[in-house]
């Protein structure tokens, strides 16, 4: 076993071991890197079933996304084709889109109109001795601004031809709901000031003002309790913000031509034989 006496004899095995050591080093490095990657991807902490579930979920999402991509691409192609065929067509589309965005409240708008301020009255009477607690609460309720008040104003303004509306600087769009939640008002699911409530409307200022102030109208009902609860003023150069939320339509889809025609006919029929003159008049206003 005297290894060190004659080095030459032992050279072959050292060379071979060295050669395989290189391979072994490479193997170790590869293994280390792979394990590092696995650790980084957090794969080993999950059981196979979890992995399978996650994989299935991802695959489903993937399929969905692929469909979306295909859909978007086909639409893009359509638009591109239209653009290539006719530049005028594209311009028309763009103008249409601008108009639709304006109507839908997706862009900020500016123009003349009115500002309506509703606020809780401070003139609620003290509780009379002979009144029960419940009926007193009922009484006080009428001195406060509620969502019905706001909705009545919005409705009246719309009927009078308001083109854009905002409640407490939240744009009113087709999906907007105005609700009272406790002391505040929820508009577009944004919590805003409960009192005073500021409603801005863009439209013909005179028409809007008259619509609110007409006899038996929205403003008049406050005269009995406290006229200061509602304040209407004309204003030039109002600017309303764009609607900021998402507007996902999950259920509504464009109707097919046949169905659309049917619905159109029903709509025309309803307008033609309105039973009372007053009703018919409102119909005319809405159509405008």
Partner 1 sequence: MLSRRMLALPIVGLIVGFLSVYFTQLTVPPFLGPYLSLAALAGVDAVCGGYRAGLEGKFADDIFLSGFAINTLIAAFLAYLGDRIGVDLFLAAVVLLGGRVFLNLSLIRRYYLTQRQLAARKEA
Q: What are the residues binding partner 1 (CB under 8 A)?
A: 1, 3-4, 7, 10-35, 37-38, 41, 43
Strand order in the sheet with 178-181: 178-181, 184-187, 190-192
Q: Closer CB to partner 1, residue 16 or residue 189?
A: 16
Report the alpha-carbon distance of residue 100 to residue 83 in Å, rounded: 19
Minimum CB separation of residue 44 from partner 1 in Å reads 9
Helix (H, G, I), strand (E, B) or coil at 130: coil
Say if CB 242 and CB 108 are below 8 A apart.
yes
Report the alpha-carbon distance of residue 220 to residue 217 in Å, rounded: 6
Minimum CB separation of residue 33 from partner 1 in Å reads 5
Minimum CB separation of residue 41 from partner 1 in Å reads 7
Q: Closer CB to partner 1, residue 13 or residue 251?
A: 13
Q: Closer CB to partner 1, residue 28 or residue 181?
A: 28
Minimum CB separation of residue 7 from partner 1 in Å reads 4
**Can you read off the two tokens belonging to residue 11?**
């050279």
Say if CB 186 and CB 150 are below 8 A apart.
no
Q: Closer CB to partner 1, residue 34 or residue 155?
A: 34
Report the alpha-carbon distance of residue 140 to residue 136 in Å, rounded: 6
Minimum CB separation of residue 45 from partner 1 in Å reads 13
Q: Closer CB to partner 1, residue 40 or residue 215?
A: 40
């Amino acid at each position: 076993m005297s290894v060190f006496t004659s080095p030459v004899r032992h050279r072959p095995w050292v060379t071979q071991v060295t050669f395989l050591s290189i391979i072994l080093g490479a193997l170790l490095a590869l293994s280390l890197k792979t394990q590092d990657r696995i650790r980084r991807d957090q794969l080993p902490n999950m059981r196979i079933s979890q992995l399978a579930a996650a994989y299935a979920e991802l695959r489903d999402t993937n399929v969905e996304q692929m469909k979306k991509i295909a859909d978007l691409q086909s639409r893009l192609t359509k638009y591109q084709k239209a653009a290539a065929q006719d530049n005028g067509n594209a311009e028309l589309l763009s103008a249409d889109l601008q108009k639709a965005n304006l109507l839908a409240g997706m862009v900020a708008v500016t123009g003349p109109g009115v500002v309506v301020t509703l606020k809780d009255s401070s003139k609620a009477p003290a509780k009379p001795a002979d009144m029960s607690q419940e009926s007193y609460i009922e009484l006080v309720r009428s001195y406060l601004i509620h969502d019905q008040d706001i909705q009545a104003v919005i409705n009246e303004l719309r009927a009078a031809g308001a083109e854009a509306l905002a409640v407490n600087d939240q744009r009113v769009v087709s999906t907007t709901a105005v609700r009272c939640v406790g002391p505040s008002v929820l508009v577009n699911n944004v919590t805003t000031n409960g009192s005073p409530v500021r409603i801005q409307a863009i439209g013909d200022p005179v028409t809007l003002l008259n619509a609110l102030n007409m006899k038996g109208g929205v403003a008049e009902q406050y005269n009995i309790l406290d006229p200061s609860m509602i304040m209407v003023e004309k204003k030039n150069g109002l600017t309303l913000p764009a609607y900021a939320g998402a507007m996902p339509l999950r259920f509504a889809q464009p109707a097919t031509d046949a169905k659309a025609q049917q619905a159109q006919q029903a709509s025309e029929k309803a307008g033609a034989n309105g039973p009372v003159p007053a009703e018919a008049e409102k119909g005319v206003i809405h159509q405008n």
